[in-house]
Structure 1
Amino acid sequence: MELELSTPALLFSAITLLMLAFTNRFLAIANLIRGLHKKFKESPDEEELVVEQLHNLRRRLSLIKNMQLFGIFSFLLCVICMYLLFQGYTVAANWIFVGSMASLLIALGLSLIEIQISTKALNLELSDMEEVFRSRKSSLDFIFKKENKKE
């Protein structure tokens, strides 16, 4: 297969959209960390849940940083590939294009791992809320059962 100048150019829009998605995930994590910091300052006694969230957020932050790094590296290799094709160095351009695709694949793999961790973090939040609702429901059931017995 002959690599043409338009082939790596097609990756520009895909890589740009991925970088935008990665940046949005970074901003969401930053907001979560700021909110958690504020919550911790207000009530530092909820240590167990905060420690688990900190571990997840630190790992997700690292993954997002690496996702962005590999996305930028893929974008850079794509530009170099286009330059090499323009200069007529097709063999080198083919290898650089393979490197660009591999870097993009790594970024997508890291994104998949980050989504898994994000889901785990959300499940922690849900389980915490479920415990509160269960305790409220059991206390309300106790009240309603007494009222039913009086009737």
Structure 2
Amino acid sequence: MSVNVERRVVDPGDADYVEQAWQLKERIRAEEGVLRQRRGFFENAYKRSTVYLFVDRADRGTLVGFAAVRRDGYILFLAVDDAYQGEGFGEALVARVAEDYSSVTCHARTTNRDAIRFYQHIGFTIERRIDNYYEDGGDAYYLKLGEEEGLADRLSKLLGG
């Protein structure tokens, strides 16, 4: 991870970085066909969430990635800019969430093989499949971060902590 990237947390009700997060999500949607939420839904969910961010200070505060999380540890959105993928930012975001919540869960589109591989790689398990979960009729897997002893500690090491 770059030394110019800093961690930040945006509390519920705060709209800091909402526009940058929307733009990042929309770039991913255009390139990969995932994260297809409407803007109003996205902004409302973002503002109700605790949002964990990585920001590149050397690049005018560019948003590297973010995880928007409900108060129960459910990850609503997780996104990392293409230019920073493969550097551990996604894992570090999940690790940061795992530090604050006893249970970490999310949904992933059943056709999003990259996301499913990513989540399983860091210890999530598929709990169940939900047909017609998404507004467009797409199916989802409900995933949960494994609870084996030491997992939060292992993920925490990705943060350097």
- Give TM-score, length-normalised by structure 1: 0.26
Higher strand share: 2
- Give TM-score, length-normalised by structure 2: 0.24
Structure possessing the higher radius of gyration over alpha carbons: 1
Higher helix share: 1
